[in-house]
Structure 1
Amino acid sequence: MKWFEIALVVLTLGSGLVLLLDKWFLAKRRAANASLLEGEEPALVDYSRAFFPVLAVVLVLRSFVAEPYKIPSSSMMPNLLIGDFILVNKFSYGFRLPITNTKIIPVGEPKRGDVVVFKPPHAPDQNWIKRVVGLPGDRIGFHGDTLSINGEPVTYQALGEYIGKGRGAEMTGAALLTENLPGRTHTVLEWLGRASPMGQGDWVVPDGQYFVMGDNRDNSEDSRFWTQTHFLPEQNLRGKAFLIWLNCEGWFCKGSFEPSRIGTGIQ
């Protein structure tokens, strides 16, 4: 949430500034004031000294190493379930400044099949998660139940009927398929034979942008449906999802808890 990011930056910079002012000016004034006991500090300085190291470590880790997110919807089933808590690698696609998300050090670019967290162009105050299926310059097509990339239909293998759990039980009965993206294999869900005319078409991915889709193909608001632009700008990327560290749907894990998902890598 952006408000948390802003608050973290403000508190870190504020406490750090208090410590610098104390070191350069306030401590000397206290030492010259005989009415104050030796070593006595104002409460603000005391609190800043206690909290600044913690805030600084959290800010650095969250901004440049890994950031936690919770999956709120079924759009990435069967690979990510509602209630999954995930970690996102913040330096896979370059080091970015907090709040503005401005890239300061380029490191790498998304690969086809990566699961990415990003700010959608039509909802920049939110964080979404989808899979990259189209890279800059790709010709993407989606017709019926089949994805095609640069004129080549992607192949699928049927794995049987999906059995959902918890809040994902609504997908019970959907077809569980292996989708063979070029260079990456993963699973998807589809209601075969129920293709809707919505979300079908052909697109060419512009430079510096990506085409993203959810693994739950019939329940995902992704690039196929975005009206202003069908593409994800590179500057909107937040990072690459790589690990599930907890699954817990309700408060205090009431109702659903899947210990088997703890420590599961995201494919």
Structure 2
Amino acid sequence: MVDNVKTIIYAGLIAVLIRTFLFEPFFIPSGSMVPTLLVGDYVFVDKFAYGYSHFSLPFSPPLFSGRIPNWSPKRGDVVVFRLPRDTSVDYVKRVIGLPGDTIQVTQGQLYINGQEVPRTDDGDYTDTSGGGPVVMRRYTETLPGGKVHSILKATDQGFFNNTQVYTVPPGDMFMMGDSRDNSLDSRVLDDVGYVPIENA
């Protein structure tokens, strides 16, 4: 009986250590990253990919700022991060802008540092993540630096497709979902806004 209790305690401690310092399962709750990640997918987040911040620790005690070691996400990485306005909430988006970059969307076309981000039309895509089938256009987008990924577009109109010019502050990232018309992301400054690198 005592051996069984010890085994359970050791297994629990090992699980907590793995979840805190190595890998953490993450459930995809929305369609904002379709077609890359689908609603209901589970992904394992590499907790060491960018080093550790105080958000890496249980209960997020503010013991230090920044990251140890000081590694940063790269443009095009898909990152799970803590929402700046409510750090108890996790979001998953793609890194589009890095510190100092300018970002703008005009008639559905993404521009980074004044340069049009190239994309190729891959035809129709039927998205069922919202319950009913919605036909969208699928594109392959190539970010500066060569990172290639798929995005979905439903329209070239509206706020998300005709934005202001954003300038990413030092220490922050600009995040966007791959389902460009179905993603609450850094384009909404008073909600998600710019994301501190230490929140990743």
TM-score (norm 1): 0.66
Q: Hey, what's the Cα distance between the residues in 2 that align with 1:114 and 1:106? A: 18
| Of 112, 115, 140, the match for 1:152 | 115
Q: Hey, what's the Cα distance between the residues in 1 that align with 2:171 and 2:40? A: 32
Name the residue aligned to 1:89: 46
Aligned-pair CA distance for 1:235: 1.9
Name the residue aligned to 1:61: 18
Asked whether the equivalents of residues 75 and 214 of structure 1 are also in contact (C-alpha less than 8 Å), the reply is yes
Higher strand share: 2
- Please state if 1:179 is matched with 2:136: no
CA shift digits 1:44-79 (9 cap, x unpaired): x76752332112211121111111011110000011
Q: Hey, what's the Cα distance between the residues in 2 that align with 1:91 and 1:181? A: 24
Asked whether the equivalents of residues 75 and 97 of structure 2 are also in contact (C-alpha less than 8 Å), the reply is yes
Distance change in 2, residues 1:94/1:160 (3 Å): same
SS at match of 1:217: coil
Letter in 2 for 1:184: K
SS at match of 1:173: strand
SS at match of 1:63: helix
Letter in 1 for 2:32: S
- Please state if 1:191 is matched with 2:154: yes
In percent, how many aligned pairs have the same letter?
39
TM-score (norm 2): 0.87
- Please state if 1:142 is matched with 2:124: no
Name the residue aligned to 1:208: 171
Aligned-pair CA distance for 1:93: 0.7
Letter in 1 for 2:58: P
Asked whether the equivalents of residues 69 and 86 of structure 1 are also in contact (C-alpha less than 8 Å), the reply is yes
Letter in 2 for 1:136: P
Aligned-pair CA distance for 1:171: 5.7
Q: Hey, what's the Cα distance between the residues in 1 that align with 2:14 and 2:57? A: 15
Q: Hey, what's the Cα distance between the residues in 2 that align with 1:46 and 1:170? A: 52
Higher helix share: 1
SS at match of 2:12: helix
Distance change in 2, residues 1:151/1:224 (3 Å): same
- Equivalenced residues, count: 192
Distance change in 2, residues 1:181/1:215 (3 Å): same
Q: After TM superposition, what 4+ stretches of structure 1 lie above 6 angstroms from structure 2?
A: none
Q: Hey, what's the Cα distance between the residues in 1 that align with 2:37 and 2:192? A: 26
Asked whether the equivalents of residues 179 and 187 of structure 1 are also in contact (C-alpha less than 8 Å), the reply is yes
SS at match of 1:93: coil
Aligned-pair CA distance for 1:170: 4.2
Q: Hey, what's the Cα distance between the residues in 1 that align with 2:94 and 2:185? A: 9
Q: Hey, what's the Cα distance between the residues in 2 that align with 1:142 and 1:170? A: 27
SS at match of 2:7: helix
Asked whether the equivalents of residues 68 and 88 of structure 1 are also in contact (C-alpha less than 8 Å), the reply is yes
Name the residue aligned to 1:99: 59
SS at match of 2:87: coil
